[in-house]
Amino acid sequence: MNILFLGAPGSGKGTQSKNIEKKFNIPQISTGDLLRAETASESKMGQELKNIMSSGKFVSDDIVLKLVSKKITSSDCKNGFILDGFPRNLSQASSLDGLLSDQNLSIEYVFLIDVPADLIIKRCVGRITCNTCGKIENEYFSDYREGDKCGEGVFVKRADDNEETVSNRLKVYAEQTEPIIQFYEDKGVLHRIIGGEDGPQRLTDEIISIIKK
Ligand code: AP5
Ligand code: MG
């Protein structure tokens, strides 16, 4: 089973991917997480990625495609995968089609998480992520704060979670990513999940019930 999460920055793609990963035991492939891991290296490429991501722009299609292709063809993904944050433009969507058809694979479910824009800034600015297990929390909606312990790790903030960069990321999303909604609607695999003030579990339950149908 291959699943794809679409949605604006802060809509909850990572949160839902982790819940679905646990439920169905198929791995999440988050291009944002993979790229952040690359930025940890002191290399020239790591530094370049850091600059692009902290401005809210997209990294080049070539780099992202290489990362995704390596993951999808690995043995971890033999029972399926969950794409989170890829594809993000029409060119990436058509490259993904090519990559999947080479492997005789397809995407069965695309979940678009639709959250009103006024909630997005708070969700991103308040987000904290465990630097070890990747658990996602929010300073506004939970008891955890930046620097608190989470199992082996501590909660940290992302460099691109300030108001200015989030506004840029939203602009880039509207210009480049929104057009791929129609691309997947035309394939008949798109499910719109309306998020809002509801906590993550209600959305997870809806997604699971669509998959089980
Ligand atoms: P990426 O890391 O993918 O960032 P994003 O798309 O902006 O999405 P986010 O991770 O910010 O949000 P999310 O939807 O995962 O929300 P989350 O679950 O964390 O990409 C970062 C950068 O990498 C890009 O800007 C780009 O530069 C580069 N990049 C990545 N992929 C690329 C690609 N394919 N091509 C080119 N460049 C690429 O939730 C957010 C917060 O809300 C959390 O605090 C969470 O606790 C809370 N929350 C979640 N759901 C709910 C709910 N239902 N109710 C209340 N709170 C909730
Ligand atoms: Mg994410």
The DSSP secondary structure of 27-66, one letter per residue, reads -EEEHHHHHHHHHTS-SHHHHHHHHHHHHTPPPPHHHHHH
pLDDT at 40: 86
pLDDT at 117: 86
Rounded-to-integer distance, Cα 138 and Cα 155, Å: 10
Rounded-to-integer distance, Cα 93 and Cα 96, Å: 5
Per-residue pLDDT band at 198 (split at 50, 70, 90): confident
Ligand 1 centroid from CA 9, angstroms? 4
Pocket of ligand 1 contains residue 124 by CB under 6 Å: yes
Give 154's strand partners. Answer: 149
- Which residue has the least CA distance to atom 50 on ligand 1? 12
pLDDT at 183: 97
> pTM of the prediction?
0.96
- pLDDT tens-digit map of 118-150: 899 999 999 999 999 999 999 999 999 999 999
43 has a pLDDT exceeding 90: no
Mean pLDDT of all residues belonging to the chain: 95
- The three-state secondary structure class of 106 is coil
Pocket of ligand 1 contains residue 89 by CB under 6 Å: no
**How many CB atoms within 10 Å of residue 99?**
15
DSSP letter at 80 equals -
Write out 110-156 in H/E/C secondary structure: EEEEECCHHHHHHHHHCEEEECCCCCEEECCCCCCCCCCEECCEEEE
Q: Which ligand ends up closest to the CA of 127?
A: 1
Residue in the block written with tokens 């300073």: 139
Rounded-to-integer distance, Cα 182 and Cα 72, Å: 24
pLDDT at 182: 97
What radius of gyration, in Å, describes the C-alpha atoms of the chain?
Answer: 17
Give 61's strand partners. Answer: none
Pocket of ligand 1 contains residue 85 by CB under 6 Å: yes
Percent of the chain with pLDDT over 90: 93
186 has a pLDDT exceeding 90: yes
Give 113's strand partners. Answer: 7, 193
104 has a pLDDT exceeding 90: yes
- Whether 64 and 92 have beta carbons less than 8 Å apart is answered as yes
196 has a pLDDT exceeding 90: no
Query: Who wins on pLDDT, 22 or 196?
Result: 22
Per-residue pLDDT band at 61 (split at 50, 70, 90): very high
pLDDT at 42: 83
